[in-house]
């Protein structure tokens, strides 16, 4: 695998890094404390082409590759993890399945303005009683003439409070279990659709999430994505790509914490010398740097396979598993290096630690990633 970045990929990295340092990092602490959705920052991401990075220009996107997307996710998330996941959901969990499974008419209406960043999308799979086991979902969709009527609820829906359209998964035939799930595009102004209050979360608090409810919510049949019964396949294929975005997010969080810990270690003095001269600190920084680089290689490998059109379920799971667990380890060590200051909000490392934790849960828990990986290694 060629790990040298192209000129375009380097430009994306530099552009996103500069934006993150100037516009995101200075505001991230306030957005986190006040649960502020960074609307202006998201608008600027759209102007930079980052809300549809790997979507072709004819469908409103920037037309770049998935390695560029992974790089952008790392850089944006290093500035503000909440902003990073807003971008990730719109790219990976909304635009990507529209590109793969949408009709031309659906792409024109439901993809172009979202890839341009003029509107915001989200992905509604998880339910109160259905998380890792998607086949247990209770939300149903009944065909009535030229419409489908949805009833049920979803929770923990990232971008839910702000989304213009939701990609919703619902049972159209309970007897078929996971093969009876179908996918639908539900505009947020559809009658019978309501949102709950925003979730109070430990981390990524600039990113809104909430429960959503469907009560006799009727949508045109043309809003179904794919055929009836294709929903589980669409959801799983979408999550394969989405895990690359989450891995990039985890990588960016870890790198931000590492950079801050390294800088602090060079300035903080104890026993008459800077603490970076102590071997205990040096070894922590060495481990952190090694794990960050290892995670980046896994992320880029998964993104490269996706660009090649090669099945990448196991590789994406490996990237997401390792990067997310690495991120928690690195951010925890960053707090340790900061000592007591790491545990107060005067420094950002406590926020990075809080932000890292969710990456081991959403878009497939670490346990689910291990199931995917073990299935692949035991296949033959």
User: Could you confirm whether 363 is annotated as catalytic?
Assistant: yes
CA–CA gap between residue 77 and residue 87 (Å, rounded): 9
Catalytically annotated residue among 127, 260, 328, 363: 363
Closest CA to 73 of 83, 65, 63: 83
CA dist 127 and 261 (Å) reads: 38
Opening angle at CA 204, ends 32 and 342, nearest 5: 65
Please give the C-alpha separations between residue 95 and each of 45, 62, 84, 152, 215, in angstroms, as whole numbers. Answer: 15, 12, 15, 24, 26
Cβ–Cβ under 8 Å, residues 104 and 112:
no
227: left (phi over 0), alpha (psi -120 to 50) or beta: beta
Q: Whose CA is closest to 97, among 217, 5, 190, 225?
A: 225
Query: With contact defined as beta carbons under 8 Å apart, do 86 and 207 qualify?
Result: yes
Residues marked active site are found at 363
């Amino acid at each position: 695998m060629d790990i040298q970045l192209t000129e375009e990929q380097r430009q994306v990295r530099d552009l996103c890094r500069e934006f993150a340092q100037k516009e995101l990092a200075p505001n991230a602490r306030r957005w986190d404390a006040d649960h502020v959705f960074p609307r202006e920052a998201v608008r600027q991401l759209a102007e930079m082409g980052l809300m549809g990075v790997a979507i072709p220009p004819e469908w409103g996107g920037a037309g770049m590759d998935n390695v560029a997307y992974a790089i952008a996710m790392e850089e944006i998330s290093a500035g503000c993890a909440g902003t990073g996941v807003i971008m990730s959901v719109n790219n990976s969990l909304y635009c990507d399945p529209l590109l793969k499974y949408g009709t031309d008419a659906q792409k024109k209406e439901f993809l172009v303005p979202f890839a341009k960043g003029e509107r915001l999308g989200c992905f509604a799979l998880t339910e109160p009683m259905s998380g890792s086991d998607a086949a247990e979902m209770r939300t149903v969709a009944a065909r009535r003439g030229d419409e489908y009527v949805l009833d049920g609820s979803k929770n923990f829906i990232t971008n839910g409070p702000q989304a213009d359209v939701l990609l919703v998964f619902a049972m159209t035939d309970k007897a078929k279990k996971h093969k009876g799930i179908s996918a639908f595009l539900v505009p947020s102004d559809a009658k019978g659709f309501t949102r709950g209050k925003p979730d109070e979360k430990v981390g990524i608090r600039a990113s809104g999430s909430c429960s959503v409810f469907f009560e006799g919510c009727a949508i045109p049949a043309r809003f179904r994505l794919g055929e009836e019964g294709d929903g589980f396949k669409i959801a799983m294929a979408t999550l394969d790509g989405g895990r690359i975005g989450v891995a990039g997010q985890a990588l960016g969080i870890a790198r931000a914490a590492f950079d801050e810990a390294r800088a602090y270690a060079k300035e903080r003095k104890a026993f008459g010398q800077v603490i970076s001269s102590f071997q205990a600190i040096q070894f922590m920084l060495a481990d952190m740097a090694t794990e960050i680089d290892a995670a980046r290689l896994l992320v880029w490998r998964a993104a490269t396979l996706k660009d090649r059109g090669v099945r990448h379920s196991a590789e994406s799971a490996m990237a997401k598993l390792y990067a997310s667990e690495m991120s928690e380890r690195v951010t925890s060590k960053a707090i340790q290096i900061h000592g007591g200051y790491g545990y107060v909000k005067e420094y950002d490392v406590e926020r990075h630690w809080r932000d890292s934790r969710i990456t081991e849960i959403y878009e497939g828990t670490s346990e689910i990633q291990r199931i995917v990986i073990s299935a692949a290694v035991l296949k033959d």
